[in-house]
Amino acid sequence: MPTSTVNRGIFAVHAKRLPRTRMKALLKEGSRVSVQIMPRPELTDARSVIVRVTMAGLCRTDLYAAEGKIKVCDPLVLGHEFSGVVEELGSEVDSLRAGQRVTVNPILPCLKCKYCLSNNTSVCQNTTFLGVDRCGCFAEFICVPASAILPLPDGISDLAAAYTEPVAASLAVLKANLAPSDKGLIYGNNRFAHLVKQILNVKSLTNISVYDPASDGALEEGSFDYVIETIMTSESLSSMARAIRPGGKIILKSRQYEPVALKMTDLLKKEPVMHVCNYGSFEDALELLATGKIDVEALVDGIYELEDFQKVLSAAKQKESLKPFFAPGGSR
Ligand SMILES: [Zn+2]
Ligand SMILES: [Zn+2]
């Protein structure tokens, strides 16, 4: 992992000098984002858990939230990709123990709708997302439902475990039923693209290349069985439509918050199949990371202090090749 010039004394950040009832957090209030000393979260109910956050990754969604590009609750602690240590358990939580290392699925199903009540929480339409709809993980502590927690297998690093959510999101491309003989293209040269490529390779899908629209030449028309999008604009959609063969697949992976114009004349003659992918299994993602089948070390920018957030956020906006991390709750 590359070292960073601002990567100093990260494990001193766990502010033991603060009273037990207070913590440090990256808070968005109105349009202002700042590091604040605020009350520690308390257990919201008997099935909730307080986790001390040891590693937390920054992603596009956090940038959109910080910039007010997506609707979020206010005030809000940002962040949703993390690992940590169980600090406190609700009285009805018997599946976990204090001190256990964990990561968390940040998509919280409502547990009330017909899908949730029939044990199909992955298609709940009323989910709450950590760091968007309720306070997230760029803080020393976070309160989450026990049902969202995944205990960590031995041997996985805090940093790799904090990559579980992006890996689960990347695994969603496998829902498009791709075959090893298919010729594939990943549109965009960024960390998502390289994560998706690793996942495809693990699944024996190796006939695939990564395309950088900024530096690579024009794509050969009609030459791919599928294209996986990581940069969603009207231009990239047209370009992808030209690149696939007739009847090919366009797999939409990014979480573009702005509407994108569809140029139907680019699409009609190809009759493409469009797959819009959300998430794959978090359990599978964690296993791929724990067994080393997916290696995210090369996709890590560095570990920063919360106080460096302005520098980190503006750098992340410019460049998406590597993921920056915060370590707000100190070491385990
Ligand atoms: Zn994310
Ligand atoms: Zn539901």
> Which token pair is 315?
């750098």
In angstroms, the CA 232 to CA 253 distance is: 9
Q: Which ligand is closest in space to the CA of residue 166?
A: 1
Cβ contact 257:70 at 8 Å? yes
Residue-wise pLDDT tens digits, 153-168? 998 999 999 999 999 9
Element housing 232 (H / E): none
Tell me how far the alpha carbon of residue 218 lies from the centroid of ligand 1, in angstroms: 30
- At 283 the three-state DSSP class reads helix
CA of 121, nearest ligand number? 2
Whole-number CA gyration radius for the chain: 20
d(CA 264, CA 116): 37
Terminal alpha carbon distance of the chain: 19
Could you please report the per-residue DSSP string of 117-137?
HTT-GGG-SS-EEBTTTB--S
Q: Are 33 and 62 in contact (CB under 8 A)?
A: no
CA dihedral (6, 69, 192, 140) in degrees, to 10, reads 40
Write the pLDDT tens digit of every residue in 27-48. 999 999 999 999 999 999 999 9
Q: Could you tell me the residue ranges of all domains in the chain?
A: 10-163+296-326, 170-276
At the fourth CATH level, the homologous superfamily of domain 170-276 is NAD(P)-binding Rossmann-like Domain (3.40.50.720)
Per-residue pLDDT, 3: 36
Which residues keep their CB under 5 angstroms from ion ligand 1? 59, 81, 165
Q: Which amino acid is at 20?
A: R
How wide is the angle at C-alpha 103 spanned by C-alphas 191 and 119, nearest 5°? Answer: 105
Between residues 313 and 16, the one the model is more confident about = 313
Supply 21's token pair.
Answer: 């009832």
- Determine the average pLDDT of the residues in 291-311: 94
- How do residues 132-141 score in pLDDT, each as one tens digit? 999 999 999 9
Architecture of domain 10-163+296-326: Alpha-Beta Complex (3.90)
Ligand nearest the Cα of residue 63 is 1
| Alpha-carbon gap, residue 227 to 243, rounded angstroms | 8
